[in-house]
Amino acid sequence: MKITRRTFIKNTGYVAIGFSMIPETVLSYESCGFEEVIMQDPRVKDWFQVLEDGRILIFTGKMELGQGIRIAIAQVAAEELNMDIDQVEVHLAETKTTPNEGYTAGSRSITQSAMNVRKAAATAADILLETASEKYNLQKQSLILQKGKILNKENGKAYSFPEVLQGKQIEAAIPSEIKLKRKSEYQLVGTPVPRKDILKMVTGEPVYVQDLRFPDMIHARVIRPPAYNSVLEEFKPEKAEKLSTIINIIRKNNFIGILAGDEYQAQKAKEILERDCKWSVPASLPQTDAWKDYIKEISSKSENVESTGNLNFRDNSVKAFYSKPYIMHGSIGPSCAVGFFDGDKLQIWTHSQGVYPLQGAVADLLNINEGKMQVTGVPGSGCYGHNAADDVSAEVAILALENPGKHIRLQWSRSDEHGWEPYGSAMLMELEGNLDKNGKINNWKYELWSDTHSTRPGGRKENLLPTSYYEGTRTGPSQGYLGGAYRNAQPYYTIQNKKIDAHFFEGPLRVSALRSLGAYANIFAIESFMDELAEKAGKDPLEFRLDHLTDQRAIDILNKLKEMTSNLHLAGNEGLGFAFSRYKNTDSYFGAAVKVSREKDQRIRIKNMWGVIDSGEVINPDGLKNQTEGGMIQSASWTMMEEVKFDKTHVTSLDWQDYPIFRIANIPHMEVQIIDRPYEPPLGAGEAAQGATSAAIVNAIYAATGQRVRDLPVKKTFSV
Amino acid sequence: MDKISLTVNSKKYQLETDPETPLLYVLRNQLELNGPKYGCGYEQCGACMVLLDDKAYPSCRIPVSVVQNRDIITLKGLGNRDKLHPVQEAFLEEQAAQCGYCLNGMLISTISLLKENPDPDRAAIDEGLKRVLCRCGTHSRFIKAVEKAAAKSRLR
């Protein structure tokens, strides 16, 4: 059976109900430095619609990235309406259909979308009761919501939502003051409701954008030049054109795309073309043994992040210089998108984190009216930030316009993804600190050097990879949001005198948002330095941190970690390290403890990792635990072994051999505990574990070996 | 173009294709199976694992012409939502997924492992699943799921 869009949609669990018009939205992006999406005049039906069969459909502007947002949003909606979880469907980000909630980024899916859904559902609950009471002339107090019905408590008579609404949707505005369900009455929120998509994954049902199939779908590939700024000098498609099923080889300036009926022939044609075409090869990437000096030299802009008190380093200061290399997102499934142009309208299926900003950027690139476009979010392989999802979507849009009438599926290769995604920036962090006579931190000076941490398209074409090749120009991406570089650059500890400065450079490699942005490197440096100062003070690293904390929730994290590791026996070749952070200094509290050993062959092995997280109100504790464990393991892989390498021409880390990541044998024993605070607001959690895990690892290595790793990855100093 | 015959999930297929085509493309595009995933094309990541005569093997390089006499099994051949294989059941119960893209490789490798060793310790699990990469960091759940699947399989 051919899987058409209709059956795919049925299989992936959403129900097509046509488009609903949504109000104009005003949107700000991560790249502008704002955290919130402001919607003018939000209406219930933007997030909430009743289906014919009495179930409800919730629209979220966020994407499922493996973080489990679908189930969390379903829980929140079902809770407000006293429905069963199976009575709620969730429709992921799609232009013209779901509200514009910006990017699925910055750990804001729960704090933003789920809270919008909560308000919409609570408003809907009230209006459903009100409408039923008027329609059937009943006391509102005698009506309750139960399992998707409105129940008259007095006679047990039940009315369905479609019956009460007479086929209409709830148009009403969501008021600013809404009566929400009492948290003490929660049945679903705060419980580990299983995700619905895992059943599809384990049985091989279609789940991902990679699994979309349309009748007569064309397979596409795009040619990568040898370097970022290469110019096509000789285009030689003749040999590739001779392969069977080749439909067209499209060249626009320095952009070359292949269309074929058969995917393997398209892949073969890509390999042939990449060999046959001649490009200029500008040797533009720096080759230096003095990388840190080079970074300082090319830094051109500075910003003071904080100045408190007066620095005074007359005596006994401790100095340390840390570094972090370029790291890649490294999605297991390379980016993929499907495009279709019917001669009038352009449709794109994408795993992008932001369907609306992508739509704007593609419209800008191809001069299409956004009214003639629809961009549909379909899950892809985990992205962990801004990977090539937007790029592949823009490329497929170019190809779809050139070849109307057929669905085109563009699949990036492994070397495309490894070599061309926007990496997490390399960073340097220099610290100086000293202590007062009581062994407390007196002065703290922190300088960091970084490229930008967001070059998301944000509605404009410049940051899409294909733009400069397609237009034959050299316009590079804009530097975007610089604030990400100093995310978590301010320590969460009480310190009298502080000065924190950020310096910016435009580095050799393409960069953008990678999970936690600059927080990973900043927390790595701060929390390593806390251990260095603790040693200077002659104090236990955990006690030293507690001496500088006033926030009880932070203190609770460290005490919990102490308790979890209290009965630990350490052998002579083992060490234990701790670290703490509060993500963005406003989101989740997280602490990590790590036990490492130095093996007989001198290798460093991580044996245990413990994590404690406080994200305020927890919607789904199993999801939070899963993501926190995952964040810790990913961070451990970054910290121990990851570094993007390049020669004078281009990136040379083009596969998993050249860019190894953790395999299962590297995985330590894991234990994550949650401090649940159901009466506090939920706090962003998805990126909370990245920084502290890395510092806990190097602190443990110091405890085990007496050697401090200040330059990541650990692999530079020890075999891992 | 050659005539190729394949046995996939106990069904026989006659196909016409370039004999060099890696098995993965045929399974995904011609047979429309979603289990095996494209990950690298270099046999480095295991996203494309299938069972070849009961042994996990990556399908992204091996030419379709050389597996004509082999018994090929994908996730779909193991069970469906009404009747799950114990390994599928174990991964589901442990909620052992984040993005889930690597699950195919993890499940197929687990089945292959348990056929050889019904009671694997951690070292054996590491060996059995070593070819499959996961980027979300779901490994600790995979380890629990393998242990659970082993216990379930022994009971049956």
According to the model, what pLDDT value does residue A167 have? 86
Considering only CA atoms, which of A379, A404, A408, A406 is closest in space to residue A396? A408
Considering only CA atoms, which of B59, B86, B60, B80 is closest in space to residue B145? B86
Residues of chain B found within 8 Å of residue A262, distances taken between Cβ atoms: 17-18, 21, 25, 29
Residues of chain A found within 8 Å of residue B133, distances taken between Cβ atoms: 332, 656, 661, 663
Residue B146 has pLDDT above 60, yes or no: yes
Amino acid at A479: Q
* Closest CB from B42, B75, B139 relative to A204: B75
Residues of chain B found within 8 Å of residue A267, distances taken between Cβ atoms: 41
According to the model, what pLDDT value does residue A483 have? 86
Residue A482 has pLDDT above 90, yes or no: no
Collapse the DSSP code of A498 into the 3-class scheme (helix H, G, I; strand E, B; otherwise coil) and give the result: strand
- Residues A572-582: pLDDT tens digits? 999 999 999 99
8 Å CB contact of B18 and A262: yes
* Closest CB from A66, A622, A669 relative to B136: A66
Collapse the DSSP code of A301 into the 3-class scheme (helix H, G, I; strand E, B; otherwise coil) and give the result: strand
Collapse the DSSP code of A134 into the 3-class scheme (helix H, G, I; strand E, B; otherwise coil) and give the result: helix
8 Å CB contact of B99 and A380: yes
Q: Where do the domains of chain A lie, and which CATH numbers do they carry?
A: 5-203 (3.30.365.10), 209-281+329-420 (3.30.365.10), 427-716 (3.30.365.10)
What angle in degrees, to the nearest 10, is found between the helix axes of A355-366 and A389-402? 40
Residues of chain A found within 8 Å of residue B82, distances taken between Cβ atoms: none
* Closest CB from A626, A656, A664 relative to B40: A656
Residues of chain A found within 8 Å of residue B81, distances taken between Cβ atoms: 199, 203, 205
Q: What is the 3-state secondary structure (H, E, C) of A667-705?
A: CCEEEEEECCCCCCCCCCCCCCCHHHHHHHHHHHHHHHH
Q: Token pair of A322, please?
A: 């840390």
Tell me which of A351, A627, A655, A664 to substitute to probe the interface with B (most B C-beta atoms closer than 10 Å).
A664
Q: Are A602 and A718 in contact (CB under 8 A)?
A: yes
Residues of chain A found within 8 Å of residue B16, distances taken between Cβ atoms: none
Angstroms from B84 CA to nearest CA on chain A: 8
Distances, alpha carbon A641 to alpha carbons A317, A634, A718, B143, in Å? 31, 11, 10, 22
Alpha carbons within 13 A on the beta-carbon side of A347 = 13
Q: What is the 3-state secondary structure (H, E, C) of A326-341?
A: CECCCCCCCCEEEEEE
Angstroms from A627 CA to nearest CA on chain B: 8
CB pairs under 8 A between A and B: 177
Instruction: Establish whether the linkage from the previous residue to A713 is cis, with ω within 30° of 0.
Output: yes
- Residues A179-221: pLDDT tens digits? 999 999 999 999 999 999 999 999 999 999 999 999 999 999 9
* Stretch A267-292: mean pLDDT: 95
According to the model, what pLDDT value does residue A287 have? 95
Tell me which of B59, B64, B78, B140 to substitute to probe the interface with A (most A C-beta atoms closer than 10 Å).
B140
Collapse the DSSP code of A222 into the 3-class scheme (helix H, G, I; strand E, B; otherwise coil) and give the result: strand
Q: Which residues contact A479 (CB under 8 A, 6 or more apart)?
A: A451, A452, A455, A504, A506
Angstroms from A345 CA to nearest CA on chain B: 26
* Stretch A280-285: mean pLDDT: 90
* Closest CB from B33, B100, B134 relative to A198: B100
Angstroms from B140 CA to nearest CA on chain A: 7
Q: What is the ipTM of this complex?
A: 0.98
Residue B50 pLDDT grade (very low, low, confident, very high; cuts 50, 70, 90): very high
According to the model, what pLDDT value does residue A39 have? 66
Q: What is the DSSP string of A225-268?
A: PSSTT--EEE---HHHHTSTTEEEEEEETTEEEEEESSHHHHHH
Mean pLDDT taken over chain A? 93
According to the model, what pLDDT value does residue A40 have? 74
Give me the phi and psi of A427, to 5 degrees please.
Answer: -145, 155
**DSSP code of B29?**
I
User: What residue ranges do the domains of chain B occupy?
Assistant: 2-77, 86-155
According to the model, what pLDDT value does residue B154 have? 83
According to the model, what pLDDT value does residue A41 have? 81
Give me the phi and psi of A525, to 5 degrees please.
Answer: -70, -50
Tell me which of B2, B27, B34 to substitute to probe the interface with A (most A C-beta atoms closer than 10 Å).
B34
According to the model, what pLDDT value does residue A315 have? 73
8 Å CB contact of B100 and A207: yes
Q: Which residues of B20-54 are buried (b: 16+ CB within 10 A; e: fewer)?
A: ebbbbbbbbbbbebbbbbbbbbbbbbbbbbbbbee
Give me the phi and psi of A460, to 5 degrees please.
Answer: -125, 150
Q: Are A530 and A441 in contact (CB under 8 A)?
A: no
Residues of chain A found within 8 Å of residue B137, distances taken between Cβ atoms: 629-634, 637, 662
8 Å CB contact of A657 and B42: yes
Measured between CB atoms, does B2 come within 8 Å of chain A? Answer: no
Residue A12 has pLDDT above 50, yes or no: no
**DSSP code of A552?**
H
8 Å CB contact of A384 and B20: no
**DSSP code of A19?**
-
According to the model, what pLDDT value does residue A710 have? 98
Residue A16 has pLDDT above 70, yes or no: no
How distant is the alpha carbon of residue B22 from its chain centre? Answer: 16
- N-term to C-term CA, chain A: 48
Residue B80 has pLDDT above 70, yes or no: yes
8 Å CB contact of A202 and B84: yes
* Stretch A608-624: mean pLDDT: 97
Residues of chain A found within 8 Å of residue B94, distances taken between Cβ atoms: none
CATH architecture under which domain B2-77 falls: Roll (3.10)
Q: Least CA distance to A263: which residue of chain B?
A: B25
Determine the Cα–Cα distance for residues A683 and A419; give it in Å rounded to an integer.
34
According to the model, what pLDDT value does residue A176 have? 87
Determine the Cα–Cα distance for residues A596 and A250; give it in Å rounded to an integer.
53
Residues of chain A found within 8 Å of residue B139, distances taken between Cβ atoms: 633, 662, 664, 667
**DSSP code of A424?**
B
8 Å CB contact of A637 and B137: yes
- Residues A638-651: pLDDT tens digits? 999 999 999 999 99
- Residues A641-698: pLDDT tens digits? 999 999 999 999 999 999 999 999 999 999 999 999 999 999 999 999 999 999 999 9
Query: For the ranges A434-443, A459-468, A478-487, B92-101, which has the lowest average pLDDT?
Result: A478-487
For chain B positions 59-118, those within 8 Å of chain A (CB to CB) are 74-76, 78-81, 84, 88, 91-92, 95-104, 107
8 Å CB contact of A199 and B32: no
Residue A38 has pLDDT above 60, yes or no: no
Angstroms from B129 CA to nearest CA on chain A: 7
8 Å CB contact of B41 and A413: yes
Amino acid at A404: P
Q: Least CA distance to B102: which residue of chain A?
A: A332
- Residues A289-300: pLDDT tens digits? 999 999 999 999
- Residues A622-632: pLDDT tens digits? 999 999 999 99
Q: Are A103 and A456 in contact (CB under 8 A)?
A: yes
Q: Are A408 and A339 in contact (CB under 8 A)?
A: yes
CATH architecture under which domain B86-155 falls: Orthogonal Bundle (1.10)
The fraction of chain A above a pLDDT of 70, given in percent, is 94
Distances, alpha carbon A111 to alpha carbons A38, A63, A196, A618, in Å? 14, 14, 22, 11
* Closest CB from B45, B133, B137 relative to A630: B137
The fraction of chain A above a pLDDT of 90, given in percent, is 89
Distances, alpha carbon A389 to alpha carbons A347, A517, B28, in Å? 15, 18, 21
8 Å CB contact of B100 and A201: yes
- Residues A521-532: pLDDT tens digits? 999 999 999 999
Residue B20 has pLDDT above 90, yes or no: yes
Q: Which residues of A676-704 are buried (b: 16+ CB within 10 A; e: fewer)?
A: bbeeeebbbbbbbbbbbbbbbbbbbbbbb
* Stretch A471-497: mean pLDDT: 87
* Stretch B48-65: mean pLDDT: 98
Residues of chain A found within 8 Å of residue B64, distances taken between Cβ atoms: none
Side by side, the strands of the sheet bearing B11-17 are B11-17, B2-8, B71-73, B49-52, B55-58
Q: Token pair of A687, please?
A: 């990126």
- Residues A386-416: pLDDT tens digits? 999 999 999 999 999 999 999 999 999 999 9
Determine the Cα–Cα distance for residues A595 and A717; give it in Å rounded to an integer.
18
- Residues A158-188: pLDDT tens digits? 999 999 999 899 999 999 889 999 999 999 9
8 Å CB contact of A627 and B98: yes
Query: For the ranges A29-38, A229-238, A531-540, which has the lowest average pLDDT?
Result: A29-38
Angstroms from A143 CA to nearest CA on chain B: 37
Angstroms from A217 CA to nearest CA on chain B: 10
Determine the Cα–Cα distance for residues A319 and A338; give it in Å rounded to an integer.
52
Residue A665's Cβ-count burial label (10 Å; 0-12, 13-18, 19+) is middle
Q: Are A550 and A556 in contact (CB under 8 A)?
A: no
According to the model, what pLDDT value does residue A476 have? 65
Residue A14 has pLDDT above 60, yes or no: no
According to the model, what pLDDT value does residue B155 have? 76
Considering only CA atoms, which of B37, B51, B61 is closest in space to residue B8? B51
Tell me which of B136, B141, B152 to substitute to probe the interface with A (most A C-beta atoms closer than 10 Å).
B136
Q: Least CA distance to A669: which residue of chain B?
A: B140
Tell me which of A8, A71, A203 to substitute to probe the interface with B (most B C-beta atoms closer than 10 Å).
A203
Measured between CB atoms, does B35 come within 8 Å of chain A? Answer: yes
According to the model, what pLDDT value does residue B1 have? 87
